[in-house]
Amino acid sequence: MKGHLIQKKDNKMNILITGGAGFMGSHLVDKLSKNRDNKITIFDNFYNGRKENIERHLKNKSIELIEGDIRNDKDIEKIGKVDIIYHLAAQSNVMSSFFDPDYALSTNIKGTYKILRFASESKGKKFIFLSSREVYGNPDYVPVDEKHPLKPVNIYGITKMTGEMLCNFFKQNHGLKVSILRVANVYGSRDKNRVIPIFLNNIKNKEDLILFGGKQVLDFVWIDDVINSILQVSGTNKFIGETVNIGTGVGITIENLAKKLIKMTNSKSKIIKKKHRKMEVKAFIAKSTKFRINPLKLDSGLKKMIEESL
């Protein structure tokens, strides 16, 4: 299944990517910028995003950078007309949200509301919301499909669930054409502060790998597979009003992931186990009843990351 953006008659799409300088956002910019007919606005406050992620695009006349905060109305007013919004701006992981809940709550909830309001008022054609597998919490069954009840166990999951509720409110009350993607554990180049880049950084510095529990089972999905999925979902009207899981359908324990990385790098780092942290979900493997991907195998993705990191 090949997705593409539905173009207007003049072939020009005005695209807004919030969080466009972040890990996932910058990869989305890479992909969308290949079509020179697209006018892309990158909106980022650089709290998590980095200018080096998008540096090569800033000389492109079809790409505009707005350094702004989605919580700030005056910054949002700088955005021109848009046809499609990819909303990726967020406090984007569990531990960061745990240590700075005020930022997570204000950005992921208040900020999402303000961008949805902007989308509604500007009569944008589509709104793509990047949610997370964290909305499910500790699942009643695995693999987890889209019908599984939402019962997040941490602040990050709560903010993403609330973001989904806001999306559904604007869909029902303002006719906004929303699609929600619940993404598994994304990994790839430019990632930071998540388990795989943390482990690789420890290996690079000849440090031990710290596991909080280690028995957690997670579904790791390669960044390019996620970006292609986002574009396929946004490139058709089939997924308007739908919520879709994006993952590989294959899980691995954190302990086995650590062992795999040590073996693949011939590292002498040791595995140090500590007590499981309650805010971390014990298991997640994605099952999508609406969308299928042909994912890159984990070993292949890890090899790419090792070549880049070490």
Same-domain status, 119 and 264: no
Assess contact for 287 and 144: CB atoms under 8 A: yes
Note the pLDDT tens digit of each residue in 289-304.
999 999 999 999 999 9
Same-domain status, 174 and 237: yes
The band of 5, judged by pLDDT with boundaries at 50, 70 and 90, is low
172 pLDDT more than 50? yes
Same-domain status, 79 and 175: yes
Please check whether residue 290 lies inside any domain of the structure. Answer: no
How far is 116 from 124, CA to CA, in rounded Å?
Answer: 10
Same-domain status, 151 and 38: yes
Name the least confident of 9-13, 32-36, 282-286. 9-13
Please check whether residue 4 lies inside any domain of the structure. Answer: no
Write a three-state SS string for the chain: CCCCCCCCCCCCCEEEEECCCCHHHHHHHHHHCCCCCCEEEEEECCCCCCHHHCHHHCCCCCEEEEECCCCCHHHHCCCCCCCEEEECCCCCCHHHHHHCHHHHHHHHHHHHHHHHHHHHHCCCCEEEEEEEHHHHCCCCCCCECCCCCCCCCCHHHHHHHHHHHHHHHHHHHHCCCEEEEEECEEECCCCCCCHHHHHHHHHHCCCCEEEECCCCEECEEEHHHHHHHHHHHHCCHHHCCCEEEECCCCCEEHHHHHHHHHHHHCCCCCEEEECCCCCCCCECCECCCCCCCCCCCHHHHHHHHHHHHC
3 pLDDT more than 50? no
CATH of the domain at 212: 3.90.25.10
Average pLDDT of the residues of the chain: 94
Please check whether residue 230 lies inside any domain of the structure. Answer: yes
Same-domain status, 164 and 261: no
Q: What is the pLDDT of residue 124?
A: 81
**Mean pLDDT, to the nearest integer, of 242-264?**
98
Same-domain status, 158 and 179: yes
Catalytic residues: 156
Dmax (CA) for the chain in angstroms is 59
Note the pLDDT tens digit of each residue in 108-127.
999 999 999 999 998 888 99
Same-domain status, 95 and 143: yes
Q: What is the pLDDT of residue 78?
A: 97
Same-domain status, 42 and 181: yes
Same-domain status, 170 and 235: yes
Same-domain status, 226 and 277: no
Q: What is the pLDDT of residue 6?
A: 46
The band of 213, judged by pLDDT with boundaries at 50, 70 and 90, is very high
Percent of the chain with pLDDT over 90: 90
37 against 196, higher pLDDT: 196
106 pLDDT more than 90? yes
309 against 295, higher pLDDT: 295
**Mean pLDDT, to the nearest integer, of 6-12?**
53
Number of domains present in the structure of the chain: 2
Same-domain status, 166 and 51: yes
Q: Which domain holds residue 149?
A: 14-186+222-246
125 against 175, higher pLDDT: 175
Same-domain status, 109 and 203: no
How far is 269 from 203, CA to CA, in rounded Å?
Answer: 6
Q: What is the pLDDT of residue 11?
A: 62
Name the least confident of 1-15, 25-39, 161-175, 222-236. 1-15
CATH of the domain at 91: 3.40.50.720
Q: What is the pLDDT of residue 36?
A: 84
- CA 234 from centroid of its chain's CA atoms: 15
**Mean pLDDT, to the nearest integer, of 252-259?**
98
